[in-house]
Structure 1
Amino acid sequence: MIETIPFSKLEERSGDLFELVVAAAKRTRQINTLRIAKNPLPSINENEEETFEETPDEEEIIDWDKVEKPTTQALKEMLCGKLNYRYAGEDQEEESESEIEE
């Protein structure tokens, strides 16, 4: 079943929708990278021939159509408040401001 994600709830998290989309896109890439690392695609070495004598077990086959998509998972994490984001230079700016005040 297809569910829609209300953008009004996303706008409540931040006033800038563009920031939320960029943060969700970065999280989506992280999720996708983790999935690829856990389930690598089969590869053929140089010395091996392309033979299909062995078939993978039924347990090893993943039905990717039924798995939640990385984008949907990232947006749900953002709606639940599990995903936090910040600007790359924020930590450095805060440290330099505290040094100036001292």
Structure 2
Amino acid sequence: MTTDLPAPAGPAQAERAIDKGGRIMVGGQRMKLGKRNVGKQVAVVIEDGCFHIMYGAEELAVRQCKTTGPLAGIKTTSKSQNPEPRPPKAP
């Protein structure tokens, strides 16, 4: 009897937009990437205790993960990518 096992999950990934100060935040950790990268949509690959910040095929930076707990609760998209409409103000 054979059972199909699910494929092992790959490294965790998140997408972020670099803010006007040249920073992103992932898992409660703020990372400065420089003002030359402002506005870029980057992919953050989380593996081996490091954040690999990718812009397309280019690796912009590698930062050590300073979070001691599990990173399971990381949002995969940023607020700037999926803005929610604000309710109208009451008169």
TM-score, scaled to structure 1? 0.21
Q: Which has the higher contact order (CA 8 A, sep 6+)?
A: 1
Q: Answer 1 or 2: which has greater helix percent.
A: 1
Q: Which has the larger radius of gyration?
A: 1
- TM-score for the superposition, normalised by structure 2: 0.22
User: Which structure shows the higher strand fraction?
Assistant: 2
